[in-house]
Amino acid sequence: MAFYNPGTVVYAYFPFEENPARVKPRPTEIIAIESDREYRVLKITSTDRSKKIKGDWILDTSDRGRKMGLRNPSFLDKSKTFIIDKALIIEKRSPMGDDPEIDSVIEDLDQD
């Protein structure tokens, strides 16, 4: 199984908060390695929620969006982090590298 670094965007089966037994395939950004089996991640969605919650609206055509492998304009939700098991990862989404702004993303999370 592959090893991913903070800043890597992966497509993963993401558990629903209200029912963790249900999952939805979605892009997520790895922000930390929790253990040899788990990653701490941020959810990525196509709905811009930047006026309601903490996060970044990223255009897929921007340099950052291309490096992250985004296929649509996307919202990186910084309001809550999640832990996912490696087994839930389907594929790497960032073929050109990782999020060039991962350090500021993590710094922003640490300020909460």
Predicted local distance difference test score (pLDDT) of residue 102: 84
With respect to residue 4, please indicate whether it lies within any of the assigned structural domains. no
> Which residue from 92, 95, 81 is spatially nearest to 33, judged by alpha carbons?
81
Question: Could you tell me the two tokens for 46?
Answer: 């196509």
pLDDT tens, residue by residue, 10-35? 999 988 888 988 989 999 999 999 99
Question: Could you tell me the two tokens for 112?
Answer: 């909460």
Predicted local distance difference test score (pLDDT) of residue 96: 67
**Residue 103: pLDDT over 90:** no
Residue bearing tokens 């492998």: 69
**Residue 41: pLDDT over 70:** yes
With respect to residue 90, please indicate whether it lies within any of the assigned structural domains. yes
With respect to residue 22, please indicate whether it lies within any of the assigned structural domains. yes
CATH code of residue 51: 2.30.30
The answer to whether the pTM exceeds 0.75 is yes
Range of the domain at 91: 9-110
- For residues 69-81, average pLDDT: 94
Number of domains in the chain: 1
Residue 64 — pLDDT band, cuts 50, 70, 90? very high
With respect to residue 19, please indicate whether it lies within any of the assigned structural domains. yes
Tell me which of 29-33, 47-51, 79-83, 95-99 is least confident: 95-99
